[in-house]
A and B are shown apart, each in its own frame.
Chain A
Amino acid sequence: MSAKADPDLKAVTGSLTRKAPSLPLTERLIAMPVVLPLLTFAVILVLWESATRVFAIPSFILPAPTRIIEGFSAVPPARWGAHVWATLRVALIGYLVAIVVSLPIAVGLAKSRLMSRAFYPLLVVIQSVPVVAVAPIIIVVLGTDDAPRVVITFMIAFFPLVVSMTTGLMATPPELIELSRSLRAPQYREITQIRLPYAIPYIFSGLKISVTLAVIGAVVAEFVAADVGIGFFIQFSTSMFRLPQAWAGLVVLVAMSLLLFQAVSLAQRVFFPWSLPKERR
């Protein structure tokens, strides 16, 4: 190499290393995890607040964010706690019942073509029934305690679970099923040691969808008949024209759904890290 080439090379690499850390601002924002969505959210809040003031929008049409915050303090914390607990309890029980019921059904659908032919259309029919319309009937039949609300929650949360579990249980590589048969292992171990773990990624996508649906189910049930719960609170506040309060209830619901969704995601990351795509482990 000639002596002259060296400084040139240095100049090139020098400019490269100088450039690398100063990515354009937009690129850096995209790379940061939470900043951009929070920023968007803050901008929307500011626009919202100013719009309600500039155009003097009445709070029963669209309350300003500051008015919604006031709506929170209109109700004592203990009362909020009671509402949240009522909704959360029904949502979680309905969700758990949906999980416990959908698992054996999914195993049956995945393992037996007979069962899948016989019951799958029925499931689709049940899924097509608008739960909101059936809710009043269920309340009449089952009374007004937790039972009918759990049933309504279950009905909404159940179907995505069955579908994702069944799909997952059938996604096992056929070679592993042949390996299982070649070992003459007991049938149930094909399910517990091969099919179920293989279905974990599918099951979790169903679990994530269903957990937010469970909250919707609990709220729908409270709309129909309840004297406590966030759904009841929103309906009651609206009927009293206390719209900022109703919006505060809505904010609580959104927070609840988000937290539950994140809890399910976290459970997957902690207990089944291998089931996530590589870049998200």
Chain B
Amino acid sequence: MPVAQNAIDFRAVGQVFATESGPLTALDAVDLSIAQHEFVAVLGPSGCGKSTLLRLTAGLMLPSEGAVSVFRQPVTRPRDDVGIVFQQATLLPWASVLDNVTFPAKHKRGRVSAMDRDRAAEVIAAVGLKGFEARLPAELSGGMQQRVGIARALFLNPDILLMDEPFSALDALTRDAMGFELLKLWQASPKTVMFITHSIPEAVLLADRVIVMSARPGRIIADIPVPLGRPRDETALRAPEVQDFAAHLRDLLIAKEAAQ
């Protein structure tokens, strides 16, 4: 790796869960480095350990083997500079958009300051929800709810953004639109992004690099840069070399499924 500082490092990480049917190896010998401000997509079938990878990075669990570090510090507990976006927006149904976005402040410090509210207004505008501050989640569409989820993750201005299949619950059109908007956000305010997905087009559209994983045990079977410059749009996605790349990813995913 060049001099650029690594934001996330996995060294020989293994994760074994004790389950009722015996130990389950969710991750095996995972080595992974993500540079600062890099956008990395993690692609794999469900159950291959993608969310486990994310939880380890977030410090929500400790690896059974190997070491996970963030900005060269071993991860021993959750850090302030890591934000998480979940598959479901999981907003608080009783709280307005504004209160949902400022919730990290209220939850962590017990109160919401005027500065917090300014910051919330900023991120709410950034995700395109200006004017919806007073709405309740039930009054929003799925796509808008996930925007609130993203705003909540951006609220504390994290250096690292962990996204666990954030758009997989949305319909196809909303999903594409959200992808482009995420790229805009990321370009306006660069962050290290670990983006988990099982959609090949989504990975190709968004990421600098795609990590492909296999299931049982979860291993990294490929780690490939996306042959596509930035900024990106729909037309760039139709270029033949991009289509070839997507086909290659599909082969990798299918080949390992067949091998099982």
Contact = CB atoms under 8 A, between A and B. Distances in A.
Contacts of B16: none
Interface string A178-191: 11111111000100
Interface residues of A, number: 20
A176 B78 contact: no
Interface stretch (A81-89, A94-102, A271-279): A271-279
Interface stretch (B19-27, B105-113, B215-223): B105-113
Contacts of B138: 274, 278
B88 A173 contact: yes
B104 A178 contact: no
Interface string B64-85: 0000000000000110001010
Contact of B59 (A173, A182, A278): A182
Contacts, number: 54
B78 A175 contact: no
A197 interface: yes
Interface string B181-200: 00000000000000000000
B86 interface: yes
Contacts of B128: none
B60 interface: yes
Nearest to A193: B107
Contacts of B78: 181-184
A172 to B, nearest CB: 9
Contacts of A175: 86-88, 90
A89 B108 CA distance: 42
A52 B245 CA distance: 87
Interface residues of B, number: 23
B58 interface: yes
A185 B90 CA distance: 18
A274 B90 contact: no
A182 B60 contact: yes
B90 A179 contact: yes
Nearest to A278: B138
A185 B84 CA distance: 15
Contacts of B90: 173, 175-176, 179
B108 A183 contact: yes
B201 interface: no
Contacts of B93: 274-275
28 contacts: A173-B90, A175-B88, A175-B90, A176-B90, A178-B55, A178-B58, A178-B84, A178-B86, A179-B90, A179-B104, A179-B107, A181-B78, A182-B58, A182-B78, A183-B104, A185-B108, A189-B107, A189-B110, A193-B106, A194-B92, A194-B107, A197-B92, A200-B94, A272-B94, A274-B93, A274-B136, A274-B138, A275-B93
Give the top 5 A-B pairs by smallest Cβ distance, nearest first. A175-B90, A175-B86, A182-B78, A183-B108, A185-B107
